[in-house]
Structure 1
Amino acid sequence: MKIIELPIEFEFNGQKNYIYPSLIILENELTLVDTGYTNFLNLIENEILKNGYEIKNLKNIIITHYDDNHIGSLYDFKEKYPWINIIASEIESKYISGEM
């Protein structure tokens, strides 16, 4: 197993910022940990590709908690890649599913 950080650079209030979603690689299966802010899908896709991995191998997304910088692009990922499994705690899953 290998874990790499995906540095995502973005500007907020005129300042350069970074978030670091992680990519877990196990054999040929990818798991993304957190999805960044809304509209970060392309930024994360580009980082995955830049690291030599193919998006078609993305099988899971783990959401650590329900904050904008962790869940913001989850909907976009699920729409574009409907085969992806979403993994979250029982408490967080209620918010992700829209139950709460």
Structure 2
Amino acid sequence: MTRTWSGSKSRNARRTIRARGRFQHCWRCGRDLDLDEDTWHAGHLTDRMDGGTDNPHNLAAECPPCNTRAGGLRGSAITNARHEAPNWPTSREQKIRPRW
């Protein structure tokens, strides 16, 4: 699993995005963001789980609802994929036969 994104890593990402200008758009929904006044998150254009990097060219400003919604969807997709995995019987279960 990847390490958490906090501390100096997060500060550097926000500083990089902020250097592009005060007024930007949420790259997911297009909402106008004033980076000095509005609450915003630093998001990845291509998620790290999908092969994206922490390169400044892969970072963009996002509004909080878009960022948290995207992370939740990605996490639930992974969790659901694990639950949908086939449940193969163990060798012990194969030996046990119902008595009818």
> What TM-score do you get using the length of structure 2 for normalisation?
0.28
Higher strand content, 1 or 2: 1
> What TM-score do you get using the length of structure 1 for normalisation?
0.28
Higher helix content, 1 or 2: 2
Greater radius of gyration (CA): 2
